[in-house]
Amino acid sequence: MEQGSEQESGAVSNSAVGRLTVAVAEAQGARGSMEDRHQLRLTSDGAWGAIFDGHGGARAAELAAAEAAQLLPNLSPGDALRRLAELTAQETSGACAVAFRLQADRLEVANLGDCELALVRSGGIETLTKVHRLSDRDERQRVLAAGAAIEGPYVVDPRTGDGVMPTRVLGDQPYHHLGVSSEPDECATQFSEGWLIAACDGLWDVLDPAELPPLLRGSPEDAVRALLKLALDERRSGDNVTVIALHKKPADPAG
């Protein structure tokens, strides 16, 4: 599935290999432009994907998505995001990001900002990402120590009055000196069966992961359509929305 661009509202694509089925949906929503970008691929033994939620323009997200296609097959998601941070360090636009790589039953995840990833399995729901906003005490303390001002949810440059909400991002060069970081959070876990849902804050700002299970009763394509509809039509998210759904069937006990 190729890099997301300015597609029509509700664009959906899907694919399947072996026990894995994936789908991705994106919509511009009420925003004046589409600044989300994504990558998603199935491989012989798993899958990898990423969502880049741009702000202040789409350039940082566009650059990151294009380069991610070369990096994620060969690097951990955390190292891929670090490399993308280097490539976008001078960009004035910014992007939040979530990236994952599944190889056999090993899942690696990394994120920056407020793009998140959750697993829904027979044992329950688990969010594998951390939201990097001022609501997190450590994030707040870091930007304050660097000299940032705070106005509501925004990290503000006291010299210009300009602000940004996420505290860890790709790009956003004007905020680096204020403690806005490009160091991702990352984790790894076993993932042998169940659902993986990754999305930008256009979904997560209006949906708690605990609400996911009833929406995951069909195929991944059904799931991304249902999540897009809920975010945009029912809960009136005012943002761009991009959602990736991956379903991994349990292994056949007969081999």
Q: What is the pLDDT of residue 251?
A: 86
Alpha helix (H) residue ranges in the chain = 59-71, 77-87, 137-145, 201-204, 220-229
What are the extents of the domains in the chain? 11-131+186-247
User: Which CATH number among 3.40.605.10, 2.60.120.10, 3.10.100.10, 3.60.40.10 corresponds to the domain 11-131+186-247?
Assistant: 3.60.40.10
User: What's the mean pLDDT in 32-43?
Assistant: 96
Cα radius of gyration rounded to whole Å, the chain: 17
What is the side-by-side strand order in the sheet with 149-151? 149-151, 154-156, 163-164
Q: What share of the chain is helix, strand, coil (3-state, %, to 5)?
A: 25, 35, 40
For 69-115, the pLDDT digits (tens) are 999 999 999 999 999 999 999 999 999 999 999 999 999 999 999 99
The pLDDT-based confidence of 14 (bands split at 50, 70, 90) is confident
Q: What is the pLDDT of residue 6?
A: 34
User: What's the mean pLDDT in 46-63?
Assistant: 98
Query: What's the mean per-residue pLDDT of the chain?
Result: 94
Q: What is the pLDDT of residue 1?
A: 58
Q: What is the pLDDT of residue 83?
A: 99
User: What's the mean pLDDT in 166-182?
Assistant: 98
Distance (Å, rounded) from C-alpha 85 to C-alpha 87? 5
One-letter amino acid identity for 249?
A: K
CA atoms within 13 A on the CB side of 157: 14
Q: What is the pLDDT of residue 12?
A: 82
Q: What is the pLDDT of residue 56?
A: 96
Please say if the pLDDT value at position 43 is more than 80. Answer: yes
Residue scoring higher pLDDT (254 or 52): 52
Residue indicated by tokens 């160091």: 183
The pLDDT-based confidence of 3 (bands split at 50, 70, 90) is very low
The pLDDT-based confidence of 7 (bands split at 50, 70, 90) is very low
The pLDDT-based confidence of 8 (bands split at 50, 70, 90) is very low
For 136-145, the pLDDT digits (tens) are 999 999 999 9
Spell out the SS3 assignment of 144-163: HHCCCEEECCEEECCCCCCE
